[in-house]
Amino acid sequence: MSYEIHLSYNNNAEGFQFPVNPESIEVTGGGNGKTYDIIGASGGTGETRAGEINVIKSPKLREVSFSGLFPGQFYPFLATETLFEPMYYIRLIEKWMGTKRPVRFIYAAHYEQHLAAQLFRGKDINMPVSIEKFVWNESAGSSGDIEYSLSLKEYVFYSARRVVLKTDSNGNQVAIQQYSRRPDDRIRPDTYTFKDGDNLSKVAMKFYTDAAGFPDSTRFKDIQLINSLSDTDVKKLSVGSVIKLPAL
């Protein structure tokens, strides 16, 4: 089995594959239950006795940690054919930490063909994470190699959800929570400059998704509205035209 590790930012606008696979990766998780003491007589079975009980809650966020090498030269054991100088990786990681936004961690395992045919599946991990700790140092006498250790924590997207009041069959007012959109970790710019082959539908699909998380071409109407463009104006948009993008 082989594997590869990637770290990316802003919906893969920036990112890289780690050039050398670490010897080991530690992934930790666990329950988040709390215990309470119940006072009173025991029930009829051991499962309903008084005393200490455990309330099961949502699991803790997973944490990933590993150490590795950013090589200063080509080695036979490189995991990728593309190699950047060591400070390239360091500058990116430190820049992403400074944005205070999540990055995406991908661990992709690949089984050999005969095992894959037996329905062996890699233990892939693909999740947004925060960079909790990053330490690096240049190895003595290593021709520019840099050793590092990295600690990541799973990130869960959260936001306020819209609630709509409706009247049920009995005439009572009930609050209905609206369906939440699939998390979108892209950074949407305030403006966009037209490129060759662009139109408003294609631009909408680049920056907006529907409730299921798929590119939403219908948002071209919102782009047209915020830019006060008539249908004739839309047809005149060309390479270099700058348009505003709606926030949501």
User: Are residues 21 and 96 located together in one domain of the fold?
Assistant: yes
- The pLDDT of residue 77 is above 80: yes
What is the total count of domains within the chain?
2
Selection from 84-98, 156-170, 185-199 with the highest mean pLDDT: 84-98
Question: Does residue 8 sit within a domain?
Answer: yes
pLDDT on residue 184:
57
pLDDT at 169 over 60: yes
Same domain, 142 and 186: no
Query: How much is the average pLDDT of 2-13?
Result: 86
Tell whether 109 and 195 lie within a shared domain.
Answer: no
Q: Which of 87-91, 141-145, 149-153 has the lowest mean pLDDT?
A: 141-145
The model's confidence at residue 166, banded by pLDDT at 50, 70 and 90, is confident
Q: Is the pLDDT of residue 102 over 60?
A: yes
Look at residue 54 and tell me if it is in a domain: no
Quick check: is 170 in a domain?
no
pLDDT bucket at 113, cuts 50 / 70 / 90: low
- Is the separation of the CB atoms in 79 and 21 below 8 Å? yes
**How sure is the predictor about 151, in pLDDT bands with cuts at 50, 70 and 90?**
very high
The parent domain of residue 237 ranges over 182-244
Kindly state whether residue 37 falls inside one of the protein's structural domains: no
The reply to whether 188 and 85 lie within a common domain is: no
Q: In the structure, what pLDDT confidence band is assigned to residue 63 with cuts at 50, 70 and 90? A: very high
CATH number at residue 67: 2.40.30
Residues 136 and 14 placed together within one structural domain of the fold: yes
